[in-house]
Amino acid sequence: MDQVKECRKGKEKRLPKGAWGVETSIDLHHCNPETIRDAKAIKQFVIELCSLIKMKRFGKCTVVHFGQDEKVAGFSMTQLIETSLISGHFANATNAAYINVFSCAYYDSEKVLRFTKNWFGAKEATRSVLNRK
């Protein structure tokens, strides 16, 4: 259930009163197997997502493959942003992806969901949004 309410001050959207930041967790299922196994595609996703939600990347995106247990093996990604962090894990065995966006600056979590689902070709997606105080 979304706990974020869109607040307006003029045309500018902002965090709900009392929130320090917002965290969006997205679970993707039945993703395109080629995309979740491609480090370059994951890095490009981060670049385009940051552009879409107007977040400034801090440093390079890190994408590493690990997991001795095939159940969890796959790429993991981290990208620092000036207002916090974007992270994700991509599970090869199930063609699933788990993406988190945490920021103390407002962003449209619905836009993140649509973009992420489309980028990874997911047939199913769920989103949880949490105000961090």
- What pLDDT is attached to residue 3? 41
- What pLDDT is attached to residue 81? 97
Predicted confidence band of residue 9 (pLDDT cuts 50, 70, 90): very low
What would the mean pLDDT of 113-124 be, rounded to a whole number?
98
Predicted confidence band of residue 86 (pLDDT cuts 50, 70, 90): very high
Q: Is 14:21 a contact under the CB 8 Å cutoff?
A: no
What number does CATH give the domain 29-127? Answer: 3.60.90.10
pLDDT over threshold 80, residue 109? yes
What are the Cα distances from residue 76, in Å, to 19, 66, 92, 93, 133?
Answer: 28, 8, 11, 14, 27
| pLDDT, tens only, 57-82 | 999 999 999 888 888 899 999 999 99
- What pLDDT is attached to residue 15? 82
| Nearest-5° Cα angle at 60, 57 to 62 | 115
